[in-house]
Structures are given as C-alpha cells and as structure tokens.
Structure 1
C-alpha cells in the first residue's frame, strides 16, 4: 500500500457557465454545484487544485481531424445559418447544439484531462481528477451525444507516451463508444464499458460480441446491461470483471470515467444505482494502487451528479463525508432534506442472475484469449506539444484578448492551493 495518495484536482469556473439551451438535458452548471459541494466539505484542503490550461487546437488535433477542430473554433450561434452543410457534416444540431463559448468550453474540459495525464506521467500525483471531462461519445470528425471533443482519447494518447498499457473503465449508463472506437485496433489500450444496451438506447453499440479487431481483438470489453440494475448486482459484476482485467492485462495506469447517469432517478438513465453503489466502483479501482485519472461524464439530474462526484472525491481522498450537506452557494438545490445520500430507485431490475452470469462468462472467456499483458515495444517518448510563447509574430486574431486576460486572474470562488510545479497553477499566472 502506498503512503497517502497525492491528488491533483482540475477545475475552471468558466466551464460551468456555458448553456446548451433551455430544453437540453446537459447542464454544465452541475460542475459549479459539484465544486462548491467539494469546497463546503473542505476537501480542497486535502488536494492540489489547478486551473487547467485551455487545450490548443494543435493538441485537440492529436485525435480529431484538423478541419473539425477548425470548424468548432469558427462556429458561433450567430453564424449558424452560413454553415448549415458543415454543421450537418460534423453532426452539430439538436443533440450537439452551437452555443456561446463552445470552443472555449471544449478547450477547458479537454485541457483538464490532458493536464491530469501529464501530471500522472511526470509522477507529480497518484490520482488526478477532472470532473468536467469524460465526454466519451465524440468521434474523430464529428460531435455525438452532447460531446464535441473527446478529452478521454486525448488524455489516453498522452498516457501512452509513458505507459505500455492503459486500462479505460466506463461506468456511464451509455456505452463509451468514442473511446472504444479510437482504440479498437490496438492492444495498448483496453476499454471496458458497463452500460445499458438494447431498446434502441443511445448510442446503440456495445454488444458483448463487439470486442476489438486486428491487434485489438479481445481488448475491447463490453458489459451490456438491462434496465433497473441495482447496487448488489452491478458491484458484484464490476468487481469480478475488473479484477480479472487487471490481473490479465497488467495496465500501467487506469482511466476511470464516472458518468453519473447510471444513478437511479437520472433524467436520461434507467439504472437503480445509489451513490454508494456507484462510489463502490471508484473505491474498488483505487485499491489497485495504480496511477489513476478520474473524469466525470453523463449525469442529467444535476443535484445528484454533484452529490455523487463529491462523495467520489471523498472516496479518492479516503474521507467519509457526513450525510448532512454543509451550507454552500447551491444549498437550495439539495432540499428538502439536504442530505448527501439519495433514495434507491424503483425501476424493476430486468437483469436476471442467469443473464448476468452469462455476460460475465462471455467476458472472462474473451479475456482468456489474450496473451497475458501484451509485450509492447516502447518507442522513444514523444515530446509534449511545443506551445509557442505569444510574441509580436502571432496572428492578431489569435492574440490574447481582454476577455482571456481577465480570466487569468484568480477568481474568488475557486480556492487554488497546492505546490508550484505546474505552469497552470494560479499563483504562477
């Protein structure tokens, strides 16, 4: 057991101020609520808190096509009518709307996951948390399922510079299709997704039979579940599969996507997990004592999202939190009982014991087909991106404008603490 974990936590208050639109289920405001709940429990005092850098277009283009990144950079709500054909091409529209500060939103949440990966690579922390990240549906050339830039893929590409094998685990109610697709042909990333499958549930992929191709054959693991799965069934299955995955694959680092739409009562979900059940998966993964990058993901009942990710921040810090929510800026959202725990759901569990046993046996059978821990020839470590200093030669359109400069000033509500070995630490700005 290693001594007390060193935890880096990434947050930028601007990420919670964007607005997808009045009828859209994605509410980035849930990130402000989470952060203030974390602060109210004094968890920030046990972590190093950083404002992430805004990922540069060249960094986003490590996975995404340059033309798609450029389009996201250019499109604004008032220009939409000029770009109808491109919007269709890149799948922007109802699910993935264009809103004010869209590109900056992508830069912040992706920057957080990239920074988290770099700190882990440089052994500056044991666990890195970016609740704004986890947007697992975005594809190389298009937006999908409320996701524009796939920060998880970018973070994993960063981790692959230092680690022969990366394990990706996804407990969102939706299949982690974008991450799986990105690494479908390689054995250097094993993707494991637990998700609702069937009944035309989005995104429609993630059958147990979809398990990778070519060098990646058997390195994509899908655990398709039915409505109403409860804590006991879910955590039993999760622990059985993940313990075997870690034993067989021997990853150097784990990325855990903690989508909170798998909680009971979620606006778009259909599972019956309590926060304790969801958090038990986080606790289990932490016990492997491997470098760990933790992100958010889905979650559409925002007060429950905030509760969940706060409890899980506590789990990562080995800190039990009292059930009574302390006074904070968003306390009114947690009424009438102001408690951290949520009641269990009432959806009938359609996952029979025999169904879950069958799924488990199929997954373990696929695992037995892989060689124990593939032997990867590590290349020379590629450099982190060279980001030019801003000087008189830069494109005037790209010059840091006043809005951006203003945002480099520390905000009162963010409480940055920690050491001074990160360029993006607030005291260094």
Structure 2
C-alpha cells in the first residue's frame, strides 16, 4: 500500500513574461506551458499550489557576493556604460542583461527558497518548483543561462535544519555551480550525471573530480558520452544512487531535473525518453526521503512541458493518459489529440558501450566505498529562518490560482566553453574555441559588419 505524500507546488504567472532576447535558447515561457498542462491534467487538485514569494536581497547574499547582486538589481539594459561591468560579472552572450532580470531571479529563486523552508517545517515531504534548478551560476558571476544559483541558496536553507543534504542532477550539463559551492564540505553530497568531453559546456565533471578536504568523495561525477539511452542510463543511475543512499543516508534530497537530457533537445545529445528521465525521479522518490524537485535546462518547449507535467504526475502517483487533454498550447504539441508520449528518434549514436559504463560505475562505487560513515553535525545555535510567511502556518500563502560549512568562496579560473551551442559529436583534435565560431559552425548565428552577433530565431516546438 503506497503512502500518501503531501506535495506542494510553486508557480507565478509572471515567469513566462521574461525574455532573454531574440533567438536565445532559454525561454522562461516554457514554465507557463508546463503549468498549463499540469492544470489541464487536473494535477493542481492533488497538491497545494502556492504563488511564489520573491526572494529577498538577503536571500541572494546568503550565497552570492553583494557587489554581484547589486549589479543585477541596478543594471540598466539601455546604458552602454555598463558593458565593462557586464563582462566582469559574465553577463554577456550566454547570460544577457534583459528587462526585469532582477525580478526574474527573485521569482525562480523564491520558489526554491520557499520550498526549502516548507520542508524544514515539515509542511510538505515533496516540493516542486519547475522554474528553479539553475545550476551554473557562481558566487560572483552568471554562467550558462543562470544568474543566481537558487539550488545553492535552497540547500543552505535546508542545512539550518538538516545534517546531510543530497543533490542529484540529471541535466545534460554538469552541475558545476552547485558542486563548486559545496566542494569542501561533507554535509552536502553532489551527484551529477552529464555529458562530458570535447568542448561541451561547462567542461567540468570528470569521474576523478571527487571533492576536496572534508568534502573529498562527497562530489560524485558520472561522465557520459553522446547518445545514451534509457537502458544504458538506468544501468548507471540505479546502482550508483542505491549506494549513495546506503552510504550517505541524506535527510533531504534535492533533484535537478533538467530536460535537456531528453532526446531531441536543441542543445542536447542524449536519447532519453520522457519515461526514462522520469524513472530517475521516481526511483529517488521510492526512498521516502523529503524531496525538493527543481527544473533546469531544456530548450525544446514541447519536450520540457511534457516532461515536467509527466514528472509532476509521477510524484503524485497519477497515471496520465497518452492522449493530451485540450489545452492552450495545442498547436505547439501537434494539434488536438496529440500524443503525450512521443517516439524517441535515435538521432545520435549511443557511444556508451557496456565496457565504458561498467568502468565508470565501478570507479564511482569504489570512490563511495571510501566514505566510512554518514557525517553527523552538532547544532548549537541555528541561523534564523528565511522570512517565508507560508512556512509559519499550515496553508498560509496558498494561491487562489488553478549550520554547516559555508559555501565555497572559490571560483573556477579555467576558461570554459559556452553553453549556447548545438552539441557536436565529440572528436579528437582542436575544436572551435569561441562562442561566435561555434555558432558559425552550427549555423545558429553570424557576425555583423559592426562585430556584433545576431542569431536566427528557431521554432520553440
């Protein structure tokens, strides 16, 4: 008999109004489309739905540097004089400045912070914020379409009440910002399954990277090659996560569910189906540990919306039909009566042979065996709670809509590839080193006579 779980869900209708710029792959509108599907499947009736309370300046500076947050709060899109400062904080090609950027950060981070607070107070054992999961942002700069790292902020909040937090990342890109933040502590274990090799962004996350100091062996990296499918992914994911749960015994699990690891993603190179992706989340849910579930990458809107609606259903133990209900975005999905589960077109050859998978699995399991016991921590004086009114009273803030070690101050000094690029099969030899040359090679953009870059708009479907 399954245990009834209390699920909370965070959303704000303003999220879909923010716009990174013409032709940029990251489209916050995808959150609105996913939410619309969730409503039309009736899933909102099975969980507590909350409107996001924006994150505060103090929330941001719990991890990020004050000068960086001041920049995000005060930057003017029209002022040319800020160009030098934008470069200082890496707000350029991948992470452009746009109207409302600070408010956008407040919303997507606010959902994750509120979710962490709700878990801390035992008011939910599963919290969903599909707008969150922006795992590349660093302490003092933007990176890979991410401006503030809502995941790190939420984990720091969880650590006020919990001795051990596990972070699991199934985005196609390495969760570098989260790993870097907790590289030297054993109170957070980070586990990332991602494509690795060549000049694929962010260029980090090899299997030999295991953490530092007290955090040695608490950073777990599972590097994958192009074209991995459901069966191959499961051969790694379940044995690794079973061992992690056995050894680490986390009190909370934070899952980043980037949908760019699905087949057909515009920036991805994997062959995962929606069911294969969701099986990872369902497997983690089976351990019965409180979970904060976040979004992440995903650059084909129809894929992203289907995936996150389906995974919401999985968390609610709802068997969703294969014929999609009437919804506001039917044309995006192929018209009335479109199928919910679409066939996986194996456009990318699976380069993850059995020998490679076994070698990676054994290396990871060997590293985990070097951890003697799950770490404990003595709580003396707990840091004050983040001010989130919906955590103080059951049901308060519900929408009418249908101390451990601090995060690491270290920042990567390596020159990294850019996220904004279509992946190419990993090849030996030198590849394009600049963003503009990568875009030119893939046909996504061209350089004008004035030296500025322009990009072709693509269909969101």
Instruction: Using structure 2 for the length normalisation, give the TM-score.
Output: 0.84
Change (3 A) 1:88 1:338: same
How far, CA to CA, are the matches of 1:246 and 1:237 in structure 2?
Answer: 14
Measure, in 1, the Cα distance between the counterparts of 2:169 and 2:104. 22
Residue-pair matches, total: 397
Instruction: Identify the residue that residue 109 of structure 2 maps to in structure 1.
Output: 110
Q: Distance in 1 between matches of 2:154 and 2:211?
A: 20
Matched with 1:295 is: 294
State the distance in 2 between where 1:88 and 1:217 align: 33
Shift of 1:340: 1.0
Q: Does 1:421 align with 2:420?
A: no
Separation of aligned partners in 2, 1:345 and 1:286: 28
Give 5+ residue unaligned stretches, structure 2: 402-461
Distance 1:76 1:351 in 2: 46
Q: Does residue 74 in structure 1 map to residue 74 in structure 2?
A: yes
Given the alignment of the two structures, is residue 47 of structure 1 paired with residue 47 of structure 2, yes or no?
yes
For 1:298-337, list aligned pairs within 5 A.
298-336=297-335
Query: Residues 39 and 196 (structure 1 numbering): CA distance in 2 closer, same or farther, change over 3 Å?
Result: same
Greater shift, 128-137 or 374-383, is seen at: 374-383
Matched-pair contact (CA < 8 Å) for 2:48–2:398: no
Q: Is the aligned partner of 1:362 residue 2:335? A: no
Aligned equivalents of 1:248, 1:2: Cα separation in 2: 25
The offset of 1:100, in angstroms, is 1.1
> Is contact 2:266-2:299 (8 Å) kept?
yes
1:427 positional shift? 5.7
User: How is 1:395-406 mapped onto 2 (pairs within 5 angstroms)?
Assistant: none
Distance in 1 (alpha carbons) for counterparts of 2:360 and 2:306: 31
Do the aligned residues in 1 keep the contact of 2:138 with 2:149 (CA within 8 Å)? yes
Name the structure 2 match of 1:338.
338
Quote the residue 2:155 is aligned against: 156
Tell me by how many angstroms 1:67 deviates: 0.7
Q: Indicate the SS of the match to 1:193.
A: strand
TM-superposed CA distance for 1:155, in Å, is 0.5
Report if the CA contact (8 A) 1:228-1:351 is conserved: yes
Determine the structure 1 residue equivalent to 2:3: 3
1:268 aligned counterpart, secondary structure: coil
Matches of 1:193 and 1:345 in 2, distance apart? 25
User: SS state of the match for residue 145, structure 2?
Assistant: coil
Mapped partners of 2:2, 2:62: distance in 1: 33
Contact 1:138 1:148 in 2 (8 A): yes
Q: Do the aligned partners of 1:64 and 1:149 also contact (CA within 8 Å) in 2?
A: yes
Distance (Å, rounded) in 1 between the aligned partners of 2:400 and 2:128: 20
Retained in 1: the 8 A contact 2:157–2:386? Answer: no
- Give 1:398's aligned residue: none
Shift of 1:16: 1.2
Does the CA contact (< 8 Å) of 2:165 and 2:254 recur in 1? yes
Answer yes or no: is the 8 Å Cα contact 1:53–1:112 preserved in 2.
Answer: yes
Per the TM alignment, residue 386 of structure 1 is displaced from its structure 2 partner at its CA by 5.4
Which residue does 2:382 correspond to in 1?
A: 381
Give the whole-Å Cα distance in 1 for the aligned partners of 2:2 and 2:63: 34
1-structure distance, mates of 2:331, 2:341: 16
Residue 84 of structure 1: CA displacement? 1.4
- Contact kept? 1:68, 1:142, Cα under 8 Å: yes
User: Residue 256 of structure 1: CA displacement?
Assistant: 0.3
> Post-superposition, which runs of at least 4 consecutive aligned residues in structure 1 deviate over 3 A?
none
TM-score (norm 1): 0.90
CA contact (8 A) 2:117 2:386 kept: no
Matched, 1:61 2:34: no
Q: Distance in 2 between matches of 1:185 and 1:421?
A: 36
Question: Following the alignment from structure 1 to structure 2, what is the Cα–Cα distance between the partners of residues 8 and 304?
Answer: 23
Deviates more, 1:246-255 or 1:342-351: 342-351
Per-residue deviation at 1:2? 6.9
1:127-164 Cα offsets, whole Å, 9 max, x none, are 00000000000000000000000000001001101110
User: What residue number does 1:21 align with?
Assistant: 21
Structure-2 residue corresponding to 1:262: 261
Q: Cα offset for 1:421? A: 2.7
| Residue aligning to 1:221 | 220
Alpha-carbon deviation of 1:378? 2.6
SS in 1 for 2:49: strand
Matched residue, 1:187: 186
> SS of the residue aligned with 1:426?
coil
For the Cα contact (< 8 Å) 1:2–1:289, is it kept in 2? no
Describe the superposition over 1:275-314 as per-residue Cα deviations: whole angstroms up to 9, x where unpaired. Answer: 0000000110000000000000000001100000011000
Partner deviation per Cα, 1:190-218 (whole Å, 9 max, x = no partner): 00000000021000000001110000000
